[in-house]
Structure 1
Amino acid sequence: MEINQTIKPNLQIRAFYLFFIIASIQIGVGIIGAPRFIYMESERDSWIAIIIAFFYICIVAWVMLLTLRQYQNADFFGIHVDIFGKWIGKFFGTVLIIYLGASFLSILLTYIEVVQIFLYHTLPNLLLTILLMIIIMYAVLGGFRVVVGVSFVFFILTFWLLIVLYDPFMRMNWFNLMPVFNSSFTELLKGAKATSYTLAGFEILLIVYPFIQNKEKAKLPVFLGLAFSSLVLLIITIISIGYFSPVGLKGVDWALLILVKSASFTFIERLDYIVIVVWMMVIIPNLALIMWSMTYGLKRLYKVPQRFTLYTITIIVLIAVNFFQYDYQISNLTDLVARIGFWIIYVYPFILLPIVLIKKRIQKSKSGDAS
């Protein structure tokens, strides 16, 4: 497997699109119920915990970019093969792909659960899965540029959803945010950690980086994407704390949907129904980017055609969704993905960077001695 890839110009994208990739993959089903989990750890100071989480993920993203820049045009898979050798490097790459698969299943099942709770209680998991997988397969078969295009278009089409929060914002009680700075630093860190599932996904940077044309301009759109996702989470959490009572928020599983359901507009009723349906356009970029990453990773590691892995993974997903019939099963899967993702996304990059730097220094010293 080649370490530094040669990507054809017609398959590359401008660094500008990294903003939409990062924002699209971070804003998904996790943000719907995130305020409750953050509030249970940091309570009224949850907004501070989100700001702490934002600065931390910016540091993690900077570490990822610094690691990638040690190579000419490598990704996560190539870097690990270069550092650890063929078999151990492929093992690490396989672990990432398995994690992405679990994350894909978690997002899909959570959205299905939301649809079943708020819209169609008896809707079979398989039916909605087939509908979503047809769209995802169509996007992935078009290649990376089509997947990025889907993320861009759907981001523009769903941006108006933020306007729906205007009504609950005007009716929130700002005193619910008082007193400020009442949580300990440990509680704030726990609240920041509670955002890990919601703000995850930007690890895709380690996979798509070779497809960027102007890599020297990648830093700004990446940080802007992280800032946008964090800002959306911050706004939703502040409104949730102000709208619900301090005790009430701890019992609200889907805070964002309850806020939307409570919104009152003279020209439309049951806005929550519309938002849940439109939210499909929010999670499709999530799923399409993750699916493309899995198929591309298997192609890089094992030389398996992406079309074959796409069909195989789709069949596995269609079978797997039938084994998750209860909400606690989906919650257990989501918790597992969050725990594993915390170590892979938020901790491991700080281990990987020193190893890469040491490896490069050894290679440089050997080349100097040889000359």
Structure 2
Amino acid sequence: MDININIKKNLQIRAFYLFFVIASIQLGIGILGVSRLIYLEVQQDAWISIVIAFFYVSLIIMVMLLILKQYENADIYGIQVDIFGKWIGKLFGTFFIFHFALSFFSILITYIEVIKVFIFPTVNDYILSFMLLCLVIYSVLGGIRVIIGVCVIFFFLSHWLLILLIQPALQMELTHLQPVFVTPITDLLKGARVTSYTFMGFEILFLIYPFILNKNKAKLPIFLGLGWTTFLLLLTTILVIGYFSFDQIERREWVLLGLFKIQSFAFIERFDYIVVAEWMMVVIPSLILLMWGITYGTKRLYQVPQRATLYTIAILCFIGSLFTNEHFQIQKVINWSSEYGFWLVYVYPLLLLPIVLIKKKWQKRKDGDHHVH
């Protein structure tokens, strides 16, 4: 297995598109309900927890970029094999594949549940699962550049939904956001950790970095993408707290959809139907990026063709979605994904960086001694 990858010219992408990759993979299903979870932890100071989370995620991204820059053109799979050896490196790489698979499955079944609750309560799970997986398969078969293209197009096609938040913004009570700075720092940190599932996804950089043509310009679009995600999370959280009372927030599972539900137009009675359907354009980019991460990882580590992995994972997720249709089961999968991802995404890079730096320093010293002799 090669540590550094030689990417063909026709598969390379410009750093500019990383903005859409980061924004698309983070703005999935988590933003629909995370405002409620943060609010239950820290009440009106929820926005402070989001800001803390933003700075921590920024730190992790800087650590990831520093790790990647130690190599000529390597991804996380190659780096781990170089650091830990063939077998342990592949084992650690498998942990990332499992993480992507668990995240993919949690998003898939959660969105199916949202559709069933808001639009089609009696529809069979296998119909929705089959349709979503077909879209994912079709996109991933197109390759990395098609996937990036989908992220860009769906980004622009879905963000008109922000216009619908003007009405609740005009009706919100600013007193709901007072008093500020009254929550203990320990609770604020707990609130920040609640956002881990929503902010997750930026670890795709560990895989996509070798495909970037102009790596020297990668940092700005990455942080702009993270900043956009943070801005939307802050905006929706402040609107939710300002519009709803504590009891209303506590009772609503997907509290953001409640803001869209208040819209009233003469030509349509339930505008939340449109929003839930449109949300597919927010969810699909997350799903295809995660699925690509799974197929690319198995090809890198075990030389399994991406097409074979794609169909296998799709079939397994299809079968799994039929047996994971109760709300408590879905919530359990989300909790597993959040907990597993927290240690792998938010803690592991901090442990990996010093090991990589020590290994590279030792390697340079060894090469220097060899040249002297």
Which TM-score tier does this pair reach, normalised by the shorter chain? over 0.9
Separation in 2, partners of 1:337, 1:121: 26
Question: Contact 1:25–1:202 at 8 Å: present in 2 too?
Answer: yes
- TM-score, normalised relative to structure 1: 0.99
Moved more, 246-255 or 356-365: 246-255
Matched with 2:255 is 255
Separation in 2, partners of 1:362, 1:356: 10
One-letter amino acid of the structure 2 residue matched with residue 157 of structure 1: L
Give the Å deviation of 1:267: 5.2
Matched with 2:25 is 25
Give the Å deviation of 1:264: 2.9
Separation in 2, partners of 1:364, 1:83: 14
Separation in 1, partners of 2:249, 2:321: 30
Separation in 2, partners of 1:265, 1:50: 33
| Per-residue deviation, residues 271-301 of structure 1 (Å, max 9, x unmatched) | 1000100101110000000000100000000
- TM-score, normalised relative to structure 2: 0.98
Separation in 2, partners of 1:263, 1:174: 20
Separation in 2, partners of 1:231, 1:250: 23
Q: SS at 1:5's partner residue?
A: coil
Q: SS at 1:221's partner residue?
A: helix
Q: Does 1:160 align with 2:160?
A: yes
Matched with 2:150 is 150
Matched with 1:202 is 202
Question: Contact 1:38–1:195 at 8 Å: present in 2 too?
Answer: yes
Matched with 1:192 is 192
Q: SS at 2:199's partner residue?
A: coil
Give the Å deviation of 1:125: 1.4
Separation in 2, partners of 1:128, 1:267: 27
Question: Contact 2:109–2:325 at 8 Å: present in 1 too?
Answer: no
Separation in 1, partners of 2:352, 2:344: 10
Matched with 1:126 is 126
| Per-residue deviation, residues 245-287 of structure 1 (Å, max 9, x unmatched) | 1333122211111110012345543110001001011100000
Matched with 1:236 is 236
Separation in 2, partners of 1:265, 1:64: 47
Moved more, 128-137 or 206-215: 128-137
Aligned length: 371
Separation in 1, partners of 2:307, 2:47: 43
Matched with 2:76 is 76
Matched with 1:344 is 344
Matches within 5 A, 1:49-60: 49-60=49-60
Q: Does 1:287 align with 2:284?
A: no
Question: Contact 1:167–1:264 at 8 Å: present in 2 too?
Answer: no
Give the Å deviation of 1:362: 0.8
Separation in 2, partners of 1:153, 1:110: 23
Q: SS at 2:200's partner residue?
A: coil
Separation in 1, partners of 2:355, 2:70: 11
Question: Contact 1:49–1:188 at 8 Å: present in 2 too?
Answer: yes
Percent identity at matched positions? 56
Separation in 1, partners of 2:268, 2:24: 27
Matched with 1:355 is 355
Separation in 1, partners of 2:29, 2:157: 17
Structure 1, unaligned runs of 5 or more = none
Q: SS at 2:70's partner residue?
A: coil
Question: Contact 2:113–2:325 at 8 Å: present in 1 too?
Answer: no
Question: Contact 1:176–1:246 at 8 Å: present in 2 too?
Answer: no
Give the Å deviation of 1:41: 1.0
Question: Contact 1:11–1:211 at 8 Å: present in 2 too?
Answer: yes
Separation in 2, partners of 1:78, 1:340: 22
Question: Contact 1:12–1:213 at 8 Å: present in 2 too?
Answer: yes
Question: Contact 1:20–1:155 at 8 Å: present in 2 too?
Answer: yes
Matches within 5 A, 1:265-344: 265-266=265-266, 268-344=268-344
Separation in 1, partners of 2:72, 2:267: 55
Question: Contact 1:63–1:353 at 8 Å: present in 2 too?
Answer: yes
Question: Contact 2:203–2:345 at 8 Å: present in 1 too?
Answer: yes
| Per-residue deviation, residues 160-210 of structure 1 (Å, max 9, x unmatched) | 011111111111111000101111111111111110001100000000000
Give the Å deviation of 1:218: 0.4
Matched with 2:102 is 102
RMSD between superposed Cα atoms in Å: 0.9
